[in-house]
Structures are given as C-alpha cells and as structure tokens.
Chains A and B, each alone.
Chain A
Amino acid sequence: MILTNTETVPGYQIVAQFGLVSGNTVRAKHVGRDIAASFKNLVGGELKGYTELLEEARQQSVDRMKQQAESLGANAIVNVRFSTSAVTQGAAELYVYGTAVQLG
C-alpha cells in the first residue's frame, strides 16, 4: 500500500479511483502523564509522553484507513490528509483520510 499526500504517485499511472477512505481514533492521556507533563511544562521542551501517545493513535488511524482501502481493492491512497483536534479536555481525535486508487 503506497500512501502519498500528493495528487498522484510519482512514476505510476492511476487507472481508477474508488472514493474516500478514512480512519479515526480518539485517545485520552492518563493522569500519570499529566503530572509528568506539568513538571516538564516548567522547563519547556518536548513532551515525549504526549508525542508518543499521539503518534501511536495516528498510526492506528492510518491502519484503519488502510483496512478500508484494502477492502476496496485499492493498492494506493493519494492525497492523504491528517487532522488532529481536541474533542474534550484530555482527549484528542486523530483523523486521517484520503482517496483510494488503483495504480497501473
């Protein structure tokens, strides 16, 4: 499965497109991470715990999207878009969508 965020896959010809595929994950951080992050907030820098959490959740979303594309018989997803939003305090939604296509 080839994923791109461009209109086409360079070097390939798109023969058919099957429509929208998407994956969605809502994940919450836990209290322990919260406490660690509040200390980290004093000195600044990367919140490793949060980066990891969001990365994991995003991967799950991508897997779900791929699952949809596979069931359509596609072998690539083009124009992939990510969107992250806070749906409530402490929980983030990782949404990913793209166009399932058949490469020639």
Chain B
Amino acid sequence: MKFVQKNLGEAAEVSSGGGDRGIAKEVVALIALSIVALTVIYFAVFAVTELVVKRLSPEQEHELFSVSGSFENSGEVPDSLKAKFELCEEVLDKLKVHEDVPKIEYKLIFFDELAPNAFAIPGGQIAVTRGLLNSLDEEISIAFVLAHELGHFVQRDHLRGLGQNLGFGICLQILFGGEVDLLTQGAANSVTAKYSRGQESGADDFGVQCVLAIYGETKGAEALFEVLEEKNTLPAWAYMFSTHPDNQTRIRRILEAKAGKK
C-alpha cells in the first residue's frame, strides 16, 4: 500500500464546530429555545395556579394552612413597640369588616427585621416587621399598609404566589436537575416579580378603597410613600427585578384611585 501525501485543506475542519460562526449560531439557538421554553412554562404554571385558586375557597385555604408553624425570623414583640403592635391589631379589626374581605380569622405576627415591610401569609396571617412599626406613626398609614395586605387576601395573591413559586421550582428542578444556576434562578425570579407587580398595584387600589370606606380619608397613605421615597436610593432600572412598583407610581395610582372614587 503506497502512501501518497495529500493535503486535507478545508476538509480538516469538518468537525471543528464552525469557529465563531458556530458559537454565534449556538448562542442564538439557545436563547430562542430558552425564550420559548420559559414562555410555555410561564403560561402553564399561570394556568394551573389560576385553576387551583379558583377551586379553593378562603375557608378551605384557611383550614389547609392553619397548621403553619413558626417562621425563623418571627419573634416576641419588644416592649417598646408593644403599644404600636396593639394599635395595628385594632386597625386590622376595624378594616376586616369591609364587605370584600374574606371572612376568616386574621392574625397579626411580628418579624424582627429592620427593613420596613409587611407580608400576607397563606392561612390569614399578616406579618409586620420591626422596621415597619418603627417608621409608622399615624393610624391612617398603618391602616393603609394593613389594608394593602388585606387586598392580597381579597385577590388571593399569596396563594397564587405560593403556587407559582412552587410551579417554577418544580420546572427548574426538572430542567436543571436540581442545580439551579444563579442566572436561571434570577430569570425565574424576575418573571414572578413582574407578575407580582400587577398584584401589588391591585392591592394598592383595594387598600385605598378599603381605607376610604372605613376611615373616610387617605391622606396618610401618600405621606407614607413620600417618606419611603426620601429614603429610596435604588435606581429605576433595578425595579425590573423588584416586587413592588416604585413609590412614584404608587403615589400616582393612589391619587388616581381617590379621584375615581369621589
């Protein structure tokens, strides 16, 4: 068998993956596929949660979650804030008689966190943080915060949020085999956050209506957000990833809701 020396030339590169062009193609294809997959998952999870939320009455939900145990950051109310916490409970009792609020048992709990925040927890629990109690003085601003959280119960947002997080968690688990990358997790979070922003605005609207119906005025609510606005240093783009609409938008919506009501 005589060896004849020949040069492969271009054909030497048949398995080399196409260089820069190959990588560019790969990136484009993967981005397109990811967008399609995320869209499908998003709508599937959305539809399933919506279906479950519709079938589950507030009473059933209350029963289902009434066994919920303690949270890691929940704690005893310190003596200095006791008076304010009790004021909150009073306000909650006043607000919950509003006709749209599901008639279940509500319980106020305390979170020892510095960030001013409040949470609606499935099963009728509302959590307020130390930071929130510290920064709220007037009854009307407390009323707005609690009415906002009640708004989540009216819209069953906490249940949707729970279902969606569960759904996305399962999907990501299947896709990434239990090793959720930081980037992909971030992508999933920004998807759910975007949805939650609509819910937050809805809860704001309900809050204004509820406070207006029971207290007859909403002056404190604007003051509350103006206070938060002054503390605010987050740039506008960061709100893409944030759950709550930015305060400017919220103030504008409150004013609009008031104007609509009168």
Do B175 and A71 touch across chains, with their CB atoms under 8 A apart? no
Measured between C-beta atoms, what is the minimum distance from A93 to chain B in Å? 10
Do A17 and B11 touch across chains, with their CB atoms under 8 A apart? no
Residues 8-39 of B, flagged 1 when their CB comes within 8 A of A and 0 if not, give 11111011000000000000000000000000
Query: Assuming A23-B15, A64-B14, A64-B15, is B8 touching A17 (CB within 8 A)?
Result: no
Q: Which of B152-183 touch A at CB < 8 Å?
A: 174-175
Query: Assuming A64-B14, A64-B15, A68-B14, is B6 touching A14 (CB within 8 A)?
Result: no
Do A19 and B6 touch across chains, with their CB atoms under 8 A apart? yes
Do B174 and A17 touch across chains, with their CB atoms under 8 A apart? no
Do A14 and B14 touch across chains, with their CB atoms under 8 A apart? no
B236 at the interface (CB under 8 A from A): no
Do A31 and B175 touch across chains, with their CB atoms under 8 A apart? yes
Among B2, B3, B6, B14, which residue has its beta carbon within 8 angstroms of that of A73? B6
Do B3 and A16 touch across chains, with their CB atoms under 8 A apart? yes
Determine the distance from Cα of A21 to Cα of B8 in the docked complex, in whole angstroms.
Answer: 9
Do A17 and B1 touch across chains, with their CB atoms under 8 A apart? yes
Query: Assuming A14-B1, A101-B1, is B15 touching A72 (CB within 8 A)?
Result: no
Measured between C-beta atoms, what is the minimum distance from B177 to chain A in Å? 8
Query: Assuming A71-B9, A71-B10, A72-B8, is B2 touching A16 (CB within 8 A)?
Result: yes
Could you tell me how many residues of chain B have their Cβ less than 8 Å away from some Cβ of chain A?
15
Query: Assuming A16-B1, A17-B2, is B8 touching A23 (CB within 8 A)?
Result: no
Do A72 and B174 touch across chains, with their CB atoms under 8 A apart? no
- Chain A residue numbers with a CB within 8 Å of B10 are 71
Between A and B, how many residue pairs show CB distances below 8 Å?
45
Query: Assuming A16-B1, A17-B1, is B12 touching A68 (CB within 8 A)?
Result: yes
Do B174 and A71 touch across chains, with their CB atoms under 8 A apart? no
Do B6 and A67 touch across chains, with their CB atoms under 8 A apart? no
- Chain B residue numbers with a CB within 8 Å of A101 are 1
Among B4, B9, B175, which residue has its beta carbon within 8 angstroms of that of A16? B4
Determine the distance from Cα of A15 to Cα of B4 in the docked complex, in whole angstroms.
Answer: 10
Do A18 and B15 touch across chains, with their CB atoms under 8 A apart? no
Q: Which of A19-60 touch B at CB < 8 Å?
A: 19, 21-25, 31, 35
Determine the distance from Cα of A14 to Cα of B2 in the docked complex, in whole angstroms.
Answer: 9
Determine the distance from Cα of A63 to Cα of B9 in the docked complex, in whole angstroms.
Answer: 17
- Chain A residue numbers with a CB within 8 Å of B2 are 15-17
User: B residues engaging A (CB < 8 A)?
Assistant: 1-6, 8-12, 14-15, 174-175
User: A residues engaging B (CB < 8 A)?
Assistant: 14-19, 21-25, 31, 35, 61, 64, 67-68, 70-73, 101-102
23 residue pairs of the A-B complex, CB under 8 angstroms, read: A15-B2, A16-B4, A17-B1, A18-B4, A18-B6, A19-B6, A22-B15, A23-B14, A31-B174, A31-B175, A35-B174, A64-B14, A64-B15, A67-B11, A68-B12, A68-B14, A70-B11, A71-B11, A72-B6, A72-B11, A73-B6, A101-B1, A102-B4
